[in-house]
């Protein structure tokens, strides 16, 4: 079972460059989200989606865009990378419906360095 797949696993960018972190899940989950984790800190929610065509902001959305055109995919776009966006990014997915939280399944992470 693939679960949640993130690509790339590692990326180095220069300030001002743009890129997209890809996230795909094969569990037919309605809910998907992106977190960032800085050294020694917990995960902070960037954006989330409760279904195709629906996205919303989390705690730290500035500098990031998302879209959800299909149930499976939830890409995270950095339009103009800044050194402050150096972090490890995690994508997660989970079921929705009567259980208001359920279990979140996480990808292995994408380590981004912005020079």
Partner 1 sequence: LAKTTQPISMDSYEGQEVNITCSHNNIATNDYITWYQQFPSQGPRFIIQGYKTKVTNEVASLFIPADRKSSTLSLPRVSLSDTAVYYCLVGESDYKLSFGAGTTVTVRA
List of residues contacting partner 1 (CB under 8 A): 4, 31, 33, 35, 40-45, 48, 50, 56, 58-59, 90, 92, 94, 96, 99-101, 103-109
Q: How far is the CB of 19 from partner 1 (least distance, A)?
A: 20
Beta strands in 1-115 (DSSP E): 4-7, 10-13, 19-25, 31-37, 43-51, 54-57, 64-66, 76-78, 87-94, 104-106, 110-114
Task: Indicate the residue among 59 and 115 with the shorter CB distance to partner 1.
Answer: 59
- Using the minimum distance from each CB to partner 1, give the nearer residue, 14 or 41: 41
Q: Least distance (Å) from partner 1 to the CB of residue 94?
A: 7
Closest CA to 63 of 80, 38, 44, 45: 80
């Amino acid at each position: 079972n693939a679960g949640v797949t993130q690509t790339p696993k590692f990326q180095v960018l220069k300030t001002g460059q743009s890129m997209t972190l890809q996230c795909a899940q094969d569990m037919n989950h309605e809910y998907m989200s992106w977190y960032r984790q800085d050294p020694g800190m917990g995960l902070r929610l960037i954006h989330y989606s409760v279904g195709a065509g629906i996205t919303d902001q989390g705690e730290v959305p500035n500098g990031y865009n998302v879209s959800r055109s299909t149930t499976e995919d939830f890409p995270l776009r950095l339009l103009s990378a800044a050194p402050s966006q150096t972090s490890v990014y995690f994508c997660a997915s989970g079921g929705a419906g009567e259980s208001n939280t359920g279990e979140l399944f996480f990808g292995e992470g994408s380590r981004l360095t912005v020079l």
